[in-house]
Amino acid sequence: MLDYIKENERQFKEAKKLIGFSLRGNAKYYHANQCAIFAKNYGAVCGRIISFNKYSINLGPTEYHSDLKRFNSKEEMLGYVSGYNTAKGWC
C-alpha cells in the first residue's frame, strides 16, 4: 500500500474512536477528520472530551454524558460540525 493511504487509514481509525455510528461512502474520511478537528479544538476550549453519536454531540466519551447539541439526523450533525469548523477557521 502507498504511504499516504496507510496514513489516511491510521487517521481515520484514530478519529473513529470518538464516533459512535458508522461512516460510509466517499466522504467518510472527510467527516471523520472534521469530527476529530471539532473534538480537539472544542474540547480544548471547554476542557472536556467530545464524542459523537447518531443524533448528538456529547460532553464526555459516551452517549450517556451531557449533550452539547442534539440533531434530527447524523447528516445534520455532520453538516453542523463542518460548518462550525469552517466558521472558526479550524480547517
Measured distance CA(60)–CA(63) in Å, rounded: 8
Measured distance CA(25)–CA(56) in Å, rounded: 21
- Encode pLDDT of 76-90 as tens digits: 999 999 999 999 998
Residue type, 53: N
pTM of the entire structure?
Answer: 0.88
- Assign 60 to helix, strand or coil: coil
Helix (H) or strand (E) holding 18: none
- Encode pLDDT of 48-85 as tens digits: 999 999 899 999 888 888 999 999 999 999 999 999 99
